[in-house]
Amino acid sequence: MATAAPVEIAAMRRAIELAARGLGHTSPNPVVGCVVLDSAGRTAGEGWHQRAGGPHAEVHALRAAGERARGGTALVTLEPCNHTGRTGPCAQALIDAGVARVVYAVADPNPTATGGALTLAEAGIDVEGGLLADEAAAGNEAWLTSVLRGRPFVLWKYAATLDGRVAAADGTSRWISSPESRADVHRLRAAADAVIVGSGTARADDPQLGVRIAGLSDDEVSRPLRVVVDSGASAVKAGARVLDGTAPTLIAVAEDADAAHLEGLAPILRLPRAAEGRGLHLPALLQALYARDVRSVLLEGGPTLAGAFLAARAVDKVVGYLAPVLLGAGPAAVGDAGITTIAEALRLDVTDTARLGPDLRITATPIRHSRPEEN
């Protein structure tokens, strides 16, 4: 992207910031931000995709710009769509507004929406792509991953001591991590379409899996789907906190499990059992969630479920909160992941480190070529 002016780079950075405001609210659509500059290069309008089914980012920005958009430039984090769904095609909206130039960061990989750049160019608009592509893609990683892999993006989060324990020998685990780390977890939940825990966590902690963010009311935060992987249908009972009605809940059980006691408490998803072990077939779980428009998942389960997801090559990102605490005994952060020798180790690329109170947060992504993903 050699021809972008400094004002366009600054506007695209602003568009990426705007796009982030839609996290947790736009699924199954991507998060998108847009800034419209007038013909003199001054900001005329801003917008972001606020909710699925609502106007796209370009429409919000064009409405704010009004006639100042004519002859101007639109900076968009994702290639403008070229199809009519619940809303009209953004490419046509840009043409109708009379913009002279469109700069986008990331090409749209969705085959039903792509082609907007070509439509704009055929209408005589100057079009360029790739400006701050890596930054924009990072902000939209969940949606982009879901499109490319045909399943939800999975972020595994865990909190552990420096010696890798997620609980003491007696099973107690509150609180290993700091208040700052726990607040950050609520941020991760708010950005996800679904939060998944296993039967062990459901029994031991009776989690509510809600979202609480300081400074925001309950109406201002998203309510991700709460998913309990309870293959034997034995961990969730009437009165469990995940059944409190504050957010939707789905209980995944084995096809042959007796789940009569759960009828009427929450929707039940019956899935085949895994070929090995006692759990469920996780690819089937992810496909079922994808069919329910879930594009991003926060995995908060314990060691057993985490190990199963890693064994299934179904973890796209890891966020670990390491507390300056030593226990010496107790369950490890991850259980059996099907790794028997160091040559099979799932190696990660650390993309970020941060201090949260006394804790260290490490963000990493699997190096895919180290362990080929299975279909």
Residues designated as active site: 58
Q: Which of 296, 287, 292 is nearest to 222 (CA)?
A: 296
Segment (H or E) for 11: helix 6-20
Cα 331 from chain centroid (whole Å): 27
Q: Looking at 51-176, which runs of residues are DSSP E strands?
A: 73-78, 101-106, 126-129, 153-161
User: Which residues in 156-169 are b (16+ Cβ under 10 Å) and which e?
Assistant: bbbbbbeeebbbbe
CA distances from 225 to 23, 210, 299 (A): 15, 10, 12
Alpha carbons 113 and 125: distance in angstroms, whole number? 19
Q: Which of 261, 293, 276, 246 is nearest to 337 (CA)?
A: 276
Structure-block tokens of residue 184: 């950050």
Q: SS3 sequence, 216-254?
A: CCHHHCCCCEEEEECCCCCCCCCCCHHHCCCCCEEEEEE
- Sheet (strand 101-106) strand order: 43-48, 33-37, 73-78, 101-106, 126-129
The 3-state DSSP composition of the chain as helix, strand, coil percent (nearest 5) reads 30, 25, 45
The residue to which tokens 């090559």 are assigned? 313
Alpha carbons 65 and 35: distance in angstroms, whole number? 9
- 69: phi > 0 → left, psi -120 to 50 → alpha, else beta; which? alpha
